[in-house]
Structure formats: C-alpha cells, structure tokens
A and B are shown apart, each in its own frame.
Chain A
Amino acid sequence: MRPEFDEISGKQTTGHEWNGIRELNTPMPKAFRLWLWASIAVAAFMWVLYPSFPLVTGALQGVLGYSARQNVLAAVADGIATREASFAALNEVPLDEFARDPSFRANHEEAFSVLFRDNCSACHGRDAGGQVGFPDLTDGHWLWSGTAEEIEYTLQVGINADHDETRFAQMPAFGRDEWLSQSELSDVAEYVLSLSGQDHDADAAQIGAVVFEDNCASCHNDAGVGGYENGAPSLADDAWIYGSSRAAIMYTLEHGRAGGMPAWSDRLTETEIKQITLYLLWQGQTDG
C-alpha cells in the first residue's frame, strides 16, 4: 500500500496497514532532533577541550591540559597548606600550653576529634576509652608516658610497627615457649592478682613472687609497677589492656603479648599528629 494523505489529521500515512488500521507518519518533534544534534556537537567540543580518545601511544590530552590527578593533588596540597598555616603555632609553642588553654580547647576539640575518629577510634574506641586489647587513653595510665612529647613520639613511630625508630615492646610467651612450667605460671598469676589487690591464693602468690622477681621484674619492675622506658604496663593498678581475670592473665602468660600500634608519620602530617596529641591530652583531663 502506498502512503496516502489522511484528511482528518492533515498528515501522510506510512503506508503500513494492519487489518484496515493505518499509521500516521508523524516525524520526531523537531525539538528532540535539535537536542540530539546539539548534544553531539557539545560532545565533539568536549573531545577537543578535555582528554578523550586513546591513541596508539597515548591519548588525546585536550587543549585545556586538564588532569583530574593534578587537580586533586593541588586541592589536597592546598588544604594541607591552609591547615598548616592556621595551626603554625602548634609547631612553635609547646603543646602543654595549648593543652591548658580552655578557649583553644573549646574552639578546636571538635575539629581535632575528626582526626581521632578517622584514624584512632577503630582500636581505641570513639570515646578513646579503649577496648579489650587496645588501651584506654583517658584513664591517665600510659605505657610510654603521657607527656605531650612522648604521646607525639608514639604517634609518629608507633609501637611494634614497621617504622625504623618504632617503640618495641614484647612480652614473651612464657608458657608456649616453655620458659616456665605450668605450676610456675599459675603461681605467678596468683602473685599478679595480688599486686592489684584482687582475690588470690596467698601461698601460691608467695612462690609466684620469686618467679616474678626472676622473670618479669626486669620489664615490669619490682612490685609490677611497670616502666615507661620499655613500655611494660603496671600490674599494680586497675587499668588492664587484656583483662584482669585469672583466665586473661594466664592466657597472657601462656601466649605472650605484643600489642601493635601503627606508625603515623607517613599517613598524617606533623601538625595533624600534634592535633591528635592535644586531643588525647584533653581527653585525659576530662576523665583523669
């Protein structure tokens, strides 16, 4: 069937016919077609301006010289420079002075907490209160001392980390490596329980005290008060990283411990590390 003129609509038909039903040949609205061609034209324009097609030995770079990588590096560097500039004082004045300054704290604690939450809270908890295996940073008990300089240094080099200068602390696996017999282990566990004033077997603790003197005191010091110089925790207080129960202490004696903290000097800037240090000093003030 040939296309024919439809009088009612005033348009041609397509010439198709299905059981007497014919179809109007309605072209796509002009606006649609214009839009299509316009978007193709814009695309062609963009090909010229921005990196587009791959070639045999590279890709079309575009006349604008646009590089997403260059832009993001510049934006990040810019952000760092701005922050460094606004906190330049942190590198000049001892942190302790800022730690004691309530107005500085009020102005910046919230901002510094973001750094803590991004990097530290996975282990130490959102409130810096620690959790089993990861120390509480608010209770005033420190492994490597809680002065601003020492906290900052720990943040930079980490503990048992892959940094060349990292702090190193390891408790041997006295049980697994058979340094002590099982009866010595349980005696020394009773002695450790006695140090922090927990329920213990006094006779076993007495024997354990000798074992402690010979094997443990070199790091944990006499009476188990610990020492900042080698990161050995105090056993005579109520702050426990791995738990204070008899079972937890026996597990530690059996398998040893070597808690690790990553070194942050490659991931964070010096200023950021100082900000986190300040944040930690403030958390200690709240609770301790």
Chain B
Amino acid sequence: MDHAKLERHGVAFAFAILGVASLGGLFEIAPLFTIENTVERVQGMRPYTPLELAGRDIYVREGCYACHSQMIRTLRSDVERYGHFSLAAESMYDHPHQWGSKRTGPDLARIGGKYSDDWHVAHLSAPRDTVPGSVMPGYGFLAEARLNTETLPQSLAALARIGVPYTSEQITGAARDAVRQADAEAEYEDDLWDSYGHTVQIRDFDGDPDRLTEMDALVAYLQMLGSLVDLENLRLEDLNQ
C-alpha cells in the first residue's frame, strides 16, 4: 500500500506534507498576483485626506470594525438597505480594509451623507439618546480630545510606501490640510480640492469651530464613506475586466 510506504520514509513524508500544505498557501496568495484585475477602474476613488485618515485611525483604534462591517454584499437585502454593493476599488487605499465579518451595528460602507453631522455627533456622544435600545458605547470623549496632527505626515508617508499615491506635497502638508478641512471659514477650499479632488467635504464637523477634535476627524471620515466612487455613471461592463 502506497500510504504505508510513505509513512515509513520520514524525509519523503516531510516533503509530501510540505507540498500539500503549500498548496493551501498558493491558493491564498495566487489571487494577489492578479489584484490589478480585481480592483475595478472606477471614477472618483481617491486617497483619504489627512483628516479622513485621522478619523479612520480613530475608527480602527476604537475597534468600530468589531461591530460594523464596511462591505455591502451582492444580496438584494443588503443592497436595498445600504445601497450599491461595495466595490473592491472602494477599499483599495484601506490598509487594512474594514470589511468586517460581524454586524452588531449596521454596515457603514455608505453611511456618508445619510445623516447630518449633528446627528453623528449626538449619536456618538450618547447613542441611546438618538437610537433607543442601541448597545453601542458612547464616544463623547472624542469631542473633548484635541486631534493630534503631528503624526499625520508619517501616517501618509507610511501609506505612500505601500502604494497609496500621496504626493510629497500632500505628505509634508498633511497636518495643515487636516486643520483646513475642518475650518469652513478659511478660504482654502480650492487648495484642498486641487490637491484631493472635489469630493472633499470642507466644514466644521463637530459643531465646535474653535477646536480640531477627534470628533471632527471621525465624523469627516464617516461622512466620506461610500461617497467617493461615481456610482451613477458606473456600468457593469466596467466592473468585469
């Protein structure tokens, strides 16, 4: 019996195990070699602005992904409730992605623009005041915490090293751009729009224009989610490439 032969030859058996186990690895890694074909070429996707990125880091820091997914599946129930199904392109600048595998709260892939800034601030501060029965913890401290913008250039630089197309100007100006995005009074709209595109929302997000807080960053991030790609002019043919 072949099996018996294999078991009696230690070295050959070790190689056989190696061969079979690496098949598993191969099947996981192989799709990454074709990632160019997986990520759709769509209009509107852009790297996150420094303020949005800071908000994303807070989102990850607070573990929001443990209860909220950011992936609308190709199921009718998902699409009717949350909007157009998610595209690979929409997480192309996410390192790591926030798809999630658990929905204790709703999916957030297209939460941007669904509610007002005021609601986000009120809800994050005291979830049960706006949504009775919610089990979400309160994050009121974000409105008190000044946003640390000092590390933003390094954050952008790190992402640039793994392929997010930030320019060196964007990297060096990251802290300044974060402040400007939350300051609707200042006349920097054109600078930000020239640099990041016209989907950048510029205003005071947390209702306190005097300070740049972590709440500003998180709300800016949430209000951007799912709103970048031009879904209106999206054709299915473009997705299959």
Question: What residues of chain A have their CB less than 8 Å away from a CB belonging to chain B?
Answer: 14, 54-59, 67-73, 75-76, 79, 118-119, 122-123, 126, 131-134, 160-162, 176, 255, 259-262, 267
**Majority secondary structure, B binding face:** helix
Question: What residues of chain B have their CB less than 8 Å away from a CB belonging to chain A?
Answer: 4, 30-31, 33-34, 37-38, 74-76, 79-81, 83, 85, 113-119, 122-123, 129-132, 201, 207, 210, 236, 239-241
Contact B79 A72 (CB under 8 A): yes
Q: Do A71 and B74 contact each other (CB < 8 Å), given the known contacts A59-B37, A267-B114?
A: yes
Residues of A within 8 A of B207 (CB): 255
**Chain B nearest CB, measured from A153 CB (Å):** 18
4 A-B pairs besides A67-B240, A123-B116 with CB distance below 8 A are A57-B37, A72-B76, A76-B79, A122-B131
Measured in the bound complex, the distance between the Cα atoms of B117 and A160 in whole Å is 11
Contact A54 B236 (CB under 8 A): no
Residues of A within 8 A of B116 (CB): 123, 160, 259-262
Residues of A within 8 A of B113 (CB): 161-162, 262
Measured in the bound complex, the distance between the Cα atoms of B81 and A13 in whole Å is 62
Contact A76 B80 (CB under 8 A): yes
Q: Do A69 and B37 contact each other (CB < 8 Å), given the known contacts A75-B76, A122-B131, A262-B114?
A: no
A162's contact among B33, B201, B210, B240, by CB below 8 Å, is which? B201
The 3 closest A-B pairs by CB, nearest first: A260-B116, A68-B74, A54-B34
Residues of A within 8 A of B130 (CB): 122-123, 131, 134
Q: Do A58 and B37 contact each other (CB < 8 Å), given the known contacts A72-B74, A260-B116?
A: yes
B115's contact among A14, A69, A131, A262, by CB below 8 Å, is which? A262
Residues of B within 8 A of A259 (CB): 116, 118
Measured in the bound complex, the distance between the Cα atoms of B123 and A88 in whole Å is 37
Contact A69 B239 (CB under 8 A): yes
Residues of B within 8 A of A72 (CB): 74-76, 79, 85
Residues of A within 8 A of B38 (CB): 54
**Chain A nearest CB, measured from B108 CB (Å):** 13
Name the residue of chain A whose CB is nearest to the CB of B78: A72
Residues of A within 8 A of B123 (CB): 122
Contact A69 B74 (CB under 8 A): yes
Residues of B within 8 A of A261 (CB): 116
A126's contact among B4, B34, B115, B132, by CB below 8 Å, is which? B132
Residues of A within 8 A of B131 (CB): 122
Residues of B within 8 A of A260 (CB): 116-118
Name the residue of chain A whose CB is nearest to the CB of B114: A262
Measured in the bound complex, the distance between the Cα atoms of B210 and A255 in whole Å is 11
23 contacts between A and B (CB under 8 A): A54-B37, A54-B38, A67-B240, A68-B74, A69-B74, A69-B85, A72-B74, A72-B75, A72-B85, A76-B76, A79-B80, A119-B114, A122-B131, A123-B115, A123-B130, A126-B132, A131-B129, A132-B129, A134-B119, A259-B116, A260-B117, A260-B118, A267-B83
**Chain B nearest CB, measured from A4 CB (Å):** 14
B76's contact among A79, A132, A160, by CB below 8 Å, is which? A79
**Chain A nearest CB, measured from B180 CB (Å):** 19
Residues of A within 8 A of B76 (CB): 72, 75-76, 79
Measured in the bound complex, the distance between the Cα atoms of B37 and A261 in whole Å is 39
Residues of B within 8 A of A55 (CB): 34
Contact B119 A123 (CB under 8 A): yes
Measured in the bound complex, the distance between the Cα atoms of B79 and A255 in whole Å is 39
Name the residue of chain A whose CB is nearest to the CB of B87: A69
Contact B80 A122 (CB under 8 A): no
**Chain A nearest CB, measured from B208 CB (Å):** 8
Residues of A within 8 A of B239 (CB): 69
Measured in the bound complex, the distance between the Cα atoms of B79 and A267 in whole Å is 11
**Chain A nearest CB, measured from B210 CB (Å):** 8
**Chain A nearest CB, measured from B122 CB (Å):** 6
Residues of B within 8 A of A134 (CB): 118-119, 130
Name the residue of chain B whose CB is nearest to the CB of A61: B240
Residues of B within 8 A of A118 (CB): 81
